[in-house]
Structures are given as C-alpha cells and as structure tokens.
Amino acid sequence: MEYTQLGRTGLKVGRLVLGTMNFGPQTTEADSHTIMDAALDAGVNFFDTANAYGWGENKGRTEEIIGSWFAGGGDRRDKVVLGTKVYADMTADGNPWPNHDRLSALNIRRSVDASLRRLGTDRIDIYQFHHIDRNTPVEEIWQAVDTLIQQGKILYAGSSNFPGWKIAQTNEIARQRGSYGLVSEQCLYNLFERRAEMEVIPAAREYGLGVIPWSPLHGGLLGGVLKKEAQGGRRGAGMAAERLAAPGVRDQIQSYETLLDKHGLAPGEVALAWLLTRPGVTGPIVGPRTAEQLAGALRALELELSEELLASLDEIFPGTGPSPEAFAW
C-alpha cells in the first residue's frame, strides 16, 4: 500500500479511504468488523464516518459499530486515522430544538462528546463539517474548534461539500484568528461529475487541503451498470437509474464500458484508478457493503492507466477545466 500525507497534516494515510455509511443500514455489525479488519490488513487506515450514519431512527449506529470494533483491541484505534462529521439533526424525533443541528458552537460541542461516546475513543483525528452553515458565523465555528483541539478531543478540522469560495473564506478567517484552518475537503468528484475541478479542487490545493472524493462510481453509474443490466436482466437502481434516464447518458456510459472492455478492464476499478491520477486527490472514499466489494476496490491500486487511455476517458467525460481558463473566449 502506498501512503501519502493528508493535506498539511503529519498524518499518513493510504490511497483509499474506507467509507462506513453502509455499516448498520446494509451491512451487519459482524460483517462490518470483517470489512474493517480486511481494510486495515490491506493498509487502508483512514476510516470515514458521520454522526448521522445509520440513518433515520438509527442515527449514530455506524459510529457505535466502529466503536465496538475498536473495543476488540489489538491497537486498532491507534492504527486508524478516524474522521467523523457534524451537522445533522441528531434528535430522536427529527424535530430539533434550536442549536441541536448545524454548526453552532453549542451543537459542535455536544456532537463531539456524543460521537466520542459512540466511537469509544478519546479523540477524533479529522472532525469534518458535513455541509456549510449559512446562519453561523465562521468565527464562532473556529472558536468551538480551537477549544476542542486544546482539550484534545479533536486533532484537525475538515470540510465536506464546501464550494471553493467557502473553503477560502473559512481558511482566511482561521488565518486571521491564528487558527490552523481546514486540512481536508470531501467533495463529489468522479469521471462523470467533474465540476469540482473548476473551483473546489483549486481552492483546496491553494490552501493545502487533502481532497477526498465521495461517490467515486457516481452511485454505480461508473461500475459497469449496463453490463450488469444485460447479464442480470435488471435495470440500474437508485442514482444510476436516474442518470441513465437523462438524455445522452446511456450512450456515454456505453462508450465508457465498450472502451474498457476492449482493454480488458473493469469499469469500477478504472473509475477509482482515474481519481488516483488527479492532482490534489488524497484518496477516494469507497463504501463497500461486503468484503468482496472492498477487494475489488483494492485492485484499483494496482492499475496504471496509460496516457492513451486517460485521453480516451477525457473524450468520453470531458472535464469543465479550472477557472478562469475554462471561461476563456
């Protein structure tokens, strides 16, 4: 496993990030533990979760599953770079009182303590803002974060789903306060969805943030959906089905799958390997439901994509290009 530095931190992480959003809702606790064991054995040492994972009445369940895995011993906690997130309404009835969601200082402090209890640990390595909060001053957010860092409850702060301007604003205010600032950004980024290249990734690179793409297969669209449909007689489901129904998308995906079939390559593995060639990317988040899916994702680390193949992928999925060049007449 190749390791890289996470943004401007001293943390070394593998080139894939284990996303745990399926632990609980779709994957049993025992199977989740098996996946985490296999990931760590393979050198995947960055585990990403969120306080809301588990969803619905089971919000927080995913953190509890990770916590029970940590409790198994073997220095597991010390071997893992652990990231979780704050923003969601965590009240049982889904009807929050004021300051029980988003990024108020009060909710940040409450949420950290609750996540630490569920995770069974004394610290969160990367505490991430799941979304922007337009109603809370950035100064207030950093005041809460700085206090938690001083208390040893978190090491660093990261962002998720932030536009480029918000990354800049948040880090400039951190600089004014003498705070450390954001160290990572989780963004929607894959072969099909490349808008992050215009503003988000340039901003992240300018401020020294590690980029951690989520949905690298775009909800299964890039995972060989048409071939699976033909073999199993089933149409794509969820996001993949919605995307395939859009004008031109089915032809685009067919071109993608045909190209990779000629090279004898698996679409899902190529989609992950392509992200690993992108400047600024630390590692994509993979969210396996089974150990077999994790093994497939790990094979992407062994792929070396030729310049010819990369150029062909750009033809099928042309990027928007960074600004301001992309707006040139």
The answer, yes or no, to whether residue 86 has pLDDT greater than 90, is: yes
pLDDT reported for residue 19: 98
Average pLDDT over the chain, rounded to an integer: 95
pLDDT in tens, 97-154: 787 889 999 999 999 999 999 999 999 999 999 999 999 999 999 999 999 999 999 9
pLDDT reported for residue 248: 94
pLDDT reported for residue 240: 85
Which residue is catalytic, options 3, 53, 87, 127?
53
pLDDT reported for residue 236: 52
Q: 3-7, 60-64, 172-176, 227-231 — which is least confidently predicted?
A: 227-231
Most confident range (mean pLDDT) of 85-99, 224-238, 294-308 is: 294-308
Q: Is 53 a catalytic residue?
A: yes
Contacts of 130 (CB under 8 A, 6+ apart): 50, 52, 85, 86, 87, 88, 160, 161
Domain ranges of the chain: 3-221+270-306
Amino acid identity at 264 = G
What is the third-level CATH fold of 3-221+270-306?
TIM Barrel (3.20.20)
Average pLDDT over residues 282-306: 97
pTM: 0.95
- Residues 26, 281: Cα–Cα separation, whole Å: 28
pLDDT reported for residue 328: 66
- Residues 27, 19: Cα–Cα separation, whole Å: 12
Q: Which phi and psi angles does 76 have, rounded to 5°?
A: -60, -45
- Inter-CA distances, 153 with 25, 121, 156, 171, Å: 28, 9, 10, 21
